[in-house]
Amino acid sequence: MSRALLLLLAAAVLQPILLPRGCRGSGCTSSESASAPPDGSAGGADASTGTSSASSSSSSSGATGTGAAGAGGSGLCEPQAIPAVVPAGWVEYTDWSCNCRFYIPGSKDVMPAPIVWQDCPVKPQGIACKAMLVDWTDGPGSIAVDPVFSVHEGKRLLAFRRVAKDYLLDLVAEVDGPVRTAIMRVKAPGQKDPSCFLGGHDLREGMYVISAWGEYASREGDSPRSGAIGGPVGMLHLPVIADYNDDRKYSWRVSSKWVMRIDAKYAEIRVFDWAKTQDLHVIAPPEDPMNMDINAFFASGEAVFWSTHVLGYNGLNVWTEAGGAKPFIRWLDDWTRGADDLGTDGIDMVWAYGEGKKPNDWEYPVQSVMTAPFTTDPDALQPRRLRSADGQIALRPFHVGCGYAVRGGLFNPNTFVVRLSDGVAWIVPDAWPELKLQLPIGVDCEEVFVAGEVNGQMDLIRVRLDSLGPGMPPD
Q: Could you say which DSSP state residue 468 is in?
A: S
Q: How far apart are CA 438 and CA 431, in angstroms?
A: 10
CA 251, CA 14: separation in Å to the nearest integer?
5
pLDDT reported for residue 194? 75
> How high is the mean pLDDT of the chain?
83
pLDDT average, residue stretch 134-157: 86
Q: How much is the pLDDT for 51?
A: 30
Q: What is the pLDDT of residues 174-230, one digit of tens each?
A: 999 999 999 999 987 766 667 888 999 999 999 999 999 998 888 777 788 999 999
Report yes or no: 209 and 201 within 8 Å, Cβ to Cβ.
yes
In this prediction the pTM is 0.85
| 383-432 pLDDT tens trace | 999 999 977 788 789 999 999 999 986 556 689 999 999 999 999 877 78
pLDDT at 400: 98
Q: Name which of 48-52, 191-195, 329-333, 336-340 the model is least confident about.
A: 48-52
Flag whether pLDDT at 161 surpasses 90.
Answer: yes
By mean pLDDT, which of 26-40, 235-249, 273-287, 459-473 is the weakest?
26-40
Which residues lie below 8 Å from residue 64, measured CB to CB, with a gap of 6+?
236, 237
Share of the chain above pLDDT 90, in %: 61
Q: So what's the pLDDT on residue 305?
A: 98
pLDDT at 119 over 50: yes
Average pLDDT over residues 288-294: 89
> What confidence score (pLDDT) does residue 43 get?
30
pLDDT computed for residue 433 by the predictor: 86
In the predicted model, is pLDDT for residue 269 greater than 80?
yes
Using the CB atoms, write b or e for 129-141: b if 16+ within 10 Å: bbbbebeebeeeb
What's the average model confidence in pLDDT over 61-66? 31
Predicted local distance difference test score (pLDDT) of residue 140: 58
Per-residue pLDDT, 212: 94
Of 379 and 5, more confident: 379
pLDDT at 123: 87
State the pLDDT at residue 36.
29
User: What is the DSSP code string of 245-267?
Assistant: -S---EEEEE-SSEEEEEETTTT
Phi, psi dihedrals of residue 3, rounded to the nearest 5°: -65, -30
The pLDDT assigned to 475 comes to: 93
Tally of CB atoms within 10 A around 264: 14
Selected residue with higher pLDDT from 248 and 40: 248
pLDDT band of 38, cuts 50, 70, 90:
very low
Predicted local confidence at residue 41, as pLDDT: 28
**Three-state DSSP class for residue 4:** helix
pLDDT in tens, 70-114: 345 656 899 999 999 999 999 999 999 999 899 999 999 999 999
- Reduced DSSP (H G I as helix, E B as strand, rest coil) percent helix, strand, coil of the chain, to 5: 5, 45, 50
454: exposed, middle or buried (C-beta count within 10 Å: 0-12, 13-18, 19+)?
A: buried
Please state, in angstroms and rounded to a whole number, the distance separating the CA atoms of residues 104 and 64: 11
Answer whether 219's CB lies under 8 Å from 192's CB: yes
Q: What is the CA radius of gyration of the chain?
A: 23
Q: Which residues contact 39 (CB under 8 A, 6 or more apart)?
A: none
pLDDT at 316: 97
**Burial code of 291-313, b = ≥16 C-beta within 10 A, e = fewer?**
ebebebbbbbbbbbbbbbbeebb
Count Cα atoms within 13 angstroms, Cβ side, for 464: 13
> Quick check: 16 pLDDT over 90?
no
Mean pLDDT of all residues in 252-256 = 97
Backbone phi, then psi, for 90, in 5-degree steps? -90, 155
